[in-house]
């Protein structure tokens, strides 16, 4: 079970106050424009900054997150991610209900108007987050895909444009994205990992970066089914997730030719 904590950061009373919010489930309506919030996960701390939050609330949110890493003995490599309102990634969104307005259908009319507007809003937000990611990289990037060993400590490079399109649902992969100004090391988890397993995976990622943990490298964990536009843009030939354990693509293809298959898009 994923354990997480959620905090409200506000100076509305005249002094800086950090209030833990224990109400569950979390709802997107809890995120007000004029304050900052902190979502503390196992190896990532999100600092969400409302568009009207004061400068002191924004800065204090980051400082409080850094204090959390030390005081709560967070694992090595724990990353603090700043999220200005409107740039939320799919992992952050997955912890909140009603992040997007429900799609509204107009009775008797085709799939247009309000439904299209809601979907367009959602897509626009995802594209904005992807654009910000690309800007942070420096406008261009190269990337490599690695499949983690069974003990999660050793990354094995996946080569070939076809092979790089496929992820197996019971495996763990690392997408290493390098740009002129920044680097993203993205851990994609097809299966659920516990705390010790995530630490082992961090050991594997450290082999790619020589153990560097600086402001020039962002480490992120992405769960299967939570891939957003920012993540998908790194797969220029597309991405297909296959059920089951890893196997040779020739073996998978032979099974498809014999029994057929079905894709969910």
**What is the residue-averaged pLDDT of the chain?**
85
Question: Which tops the pLDDT comparison, 123 or 147?
Answer: 147
Report the chain's C-alpha Rg in angstroms: 20
The ranges assigned to domains in the chain are 5-94, 142-259
Distance CA 116, CA 132 (A): 24
CATH 3.90.1110.10 describes domain 5-94: no
Q: Are 42 and 198 in contact (CB under 8 A)?
A: yes
* Entry pTM: 0.55
Q: What is the pLDDT of residue 259?
A: 74
Residue that has been written with the tokens 């100076």 in this structure: 11
Count CB neighbours of 28 within 10 A: 14
**Max avg pLDDT among 1-5, 143-147, 228-232, 257-261:** 143-147
Distance CA 63, CA 110 (A): 50
Is residue 108 very low, low, confident or very high in pLDDT (cuts 50, 70, 90)? low
Lowest mean pLDDT among 74-88, 111-125, 155-169: 111-125
Residues 142-259: name the CATH superfamily: Severin (3.40.20.10)
Mean pLDDT throughout 194-206? 87
Query: Which ranges of the chain would DSSP assign to H, the alpha helix?
Result: 55-71, 90-93, 113-137, 195-209, 229-232, 249-259
Question: Which residues, in sequence order, are bridge partners of residue 79?
Answer: 44
126-155 pLDDT per residue, tens:
788 788 888 889 988 898 999 999 999 999
Question: Which residues, in sequence order, are bridge partners of residue 6?
Answer: 39
Helix, strand, or coil (residue 153): coil
Nearest to 143 by CA among 215, 76, 237: 237
Helix, strand, or coil (residue 228): coil
Same fold, 5-94 and 142-259: yes
Nearest to 166 by CA among 260, 223, 245: 245
- List the structure tokens of 243: 């059920």
Is residue 229 very low, low, confident or very high in pLDDT (cuts 50, 70, 90)? confident
């Amino acid at each position: 079970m994923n354990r997480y904590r959620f905090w409200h950061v506000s100076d509305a009373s005249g002094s800086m106050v950090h209030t833990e919010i224990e109400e569950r489930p979390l709802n997107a309506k809890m995120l007000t424009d004029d304050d900052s919030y902190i979502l503390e996960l196992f190896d990532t701390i999100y600092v969400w900054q409302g568009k009207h939050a004061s400068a002191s609330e924004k800065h204090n949110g980051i400082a409080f997150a850094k204090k959390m890493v030390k005081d709560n003995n967070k694992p090595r490599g724990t990353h603090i991610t700043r999220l200005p309102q409107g740039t939320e990634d799919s992992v952050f969104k997955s912890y909140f209900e009603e992040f997007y307005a429900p799609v509204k259908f107009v009775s008797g009319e085709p799939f247009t108007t309000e439904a299209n507007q809601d979907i367009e809003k959602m897509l626009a937000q995802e594209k904005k987050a992807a654009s910000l990611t690309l800007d942070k990289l420096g406008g261009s990037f190269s990337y490599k895909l690695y499949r983690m060993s069974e003990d999660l400590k050793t990354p094995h490079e996946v080569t070939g444009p076809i092979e790089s399109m496929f992820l197996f649902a019971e495996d763990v992969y690392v997408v290493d994205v390098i740009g002129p100004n920044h680097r993203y090391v993205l851990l994609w988890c097809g299966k659920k990992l516990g705390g010790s397993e995530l630490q082992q995976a961090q050991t594997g990622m450290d082999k790619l970066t020589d153990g560097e943990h600086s402001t020039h490298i962002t480490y992120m964990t992405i769960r299967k089914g939570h891939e957003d536009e920012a993540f998908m843009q790194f797969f220029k030939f597309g991405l297909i997730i296959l059920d089951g354990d890893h196997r040779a693509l020739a073996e998978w293809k032979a099974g498809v030719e014999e029994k057929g298959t079905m894709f969910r898009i």
